[in-house]
Amino acid sequence: MKRNQLGSSELRVSEIGLGCMSLVPENEAEGKEILKRAYEEGITYFDTADLYQFGWNEKFVGKSIRPFRDKVVLATKVGNRWTADKKSWDWDPSKTYIKQAIKDSLHRLGTDYIDLYQLHGGTIEDNMDETISAFNELKQEGLVREYGISSIRPNVISYYAEHSEIVSVMMQYSILDRRPEEEMLDFLHNKKISVIARGPVAKGWLSERALNRSESDQYLEYEGKEIHELVKGLQDKLASERTLSQTAIRYCLHHPAVAAVIPGASSVDQLLSNVGAAHTPELSADEVAVIQSLSKASVYNQHRR
């Protein structure tokens, strides 16, 4: 599988990674097989977070990838802390919390370093300089190789891009959520900061089961009926050599800012379908134009000042 440089760092990630949030404690055997097969199929980027399943996800991923730990890029996230009753979480991007949280993540992951440590959110009201200082210290201490943020908020992204050493920004991006195209993709590409695209199949709306879903449902600013029409248009006007979900994954990769797409997988079959996108042709300029003519060019209007 093709590997791309992450920002200006020495890290290289498979263009299709694995978002591990969909792995669940109720099906450990399947989850372990998914992780094993992902590596065998060429995936070298595995993404988790300390928030997922109260830390179980980190522990499970770390244990499962141990046989090939040194051959992959392991990423996790920090910034959200569960409340005592575990019914909700609080946002804490302070240096004190980050430097404690990484110790817990390293223990759960069973490793002495994290390849990519990401801030799991961020607001313009944060003391971002303090957060940046924490990440820089972790890098100097050798606990992380590189760091990034997970955000779609333009003001937050812009601040980190201008004032920190981030090598990546994870953001939701798909045919049904084209907000990053308005101002972020070209900006980050010019800054030599990579994008990691999450949610490429839009919670299944861009998969083969899309037309079986109710027209009364909704995804962002799309009504279910609109998505049905969009899906039918894609099927009519694009080459049949890709499945719908593979087309969705390849769309995210059409922009040079995007180093990796990280769809989740709750079964081996779903994983193999996702990986199959790596073996289909890149979208042509004409195909990209068709997709963009059928979908909405959204703008992110919140969290600005």
Our measurement of the distance from residue 293's CA atom to the centroid of its chain's CA atoms, rounded to an integer in Å, reads: 25
pLDDT digits (tens, 9 = 90+) for 128-181: 999 999 999 999 999 999 999 999 899 999 999 999 999 999 999 999 999 999
The pLDDT of residue 76: 98
Per-residue pLDDT at 214 exceeds 80: yes
Look up the CATH superfamily of 3-204+245-281. Answer: NADP-dependent oxidoreductase domain (3.20.20.100)
pLDDT digits (tens, 9 = 90+) for 1-56: 999 999 999 999 999 999 999 999 999 999 999 999 999 999 999 999 999 988 99
Would you call 52 a catalytic residue per the annotation? Answer: yes
pLDDT digits (tens, 9 = 90+) for 79-120: 988 888 888 888 999 999 999 999 999 999 999 999 999 999
Range list of H helices, 7-127: 28-40, 56-64, 95-109
Per-residue pLDDT at 305 exceeds 70: no
Which of 39, 52, 97, 159 is catalytic? The answer is 52
The pLDDT of residue 241: 86
Rounded to two decimals, the pTM is: 0.94
What is the 8-class DSSP label of residue 140? H
Our measurement of the distance from residue 32's CA atom to the centroid of its chain's CA atoms, rounded to an integer in Å, reads: 20
The pLDDT of residue 128: 96
The pLDDT of residue 303: 59
DSSP string for residues in 238-304: S-TTS-HHHHHHHHHTTSTTEEEE--B-SSHHHHHHHHHGGGSPPPPHHHHHHHHHHS------SS-
Instruction: Indicate the pLDDT class of residue 258, thresholds 50, 70 and 90.
Output: very high
pLDDT digits (tens, 9 = 90+) for 74-84: 999 999 888 88
pLDDT above 70 coverage of the chain, percent: 99
Residue 301 neighbours by CB distance under 10 Å? 8
The pLDDT of residue 83: 84
What is the average per-residue pLDDT within 282-305?
87
The pLDDT of residue 298: 83
Task: List own/partner pairs for 180-184 with CB under 8 A and 24 or more apart.
Answer: 180/152, 180/300, 181/255, 181/297, 182/297, 182/298, 182/299, 182/300, 183/154, 184/152, 184/154, 184/157
For the CA atoms of the chain, what is the radius of gyration?
Answer: 19
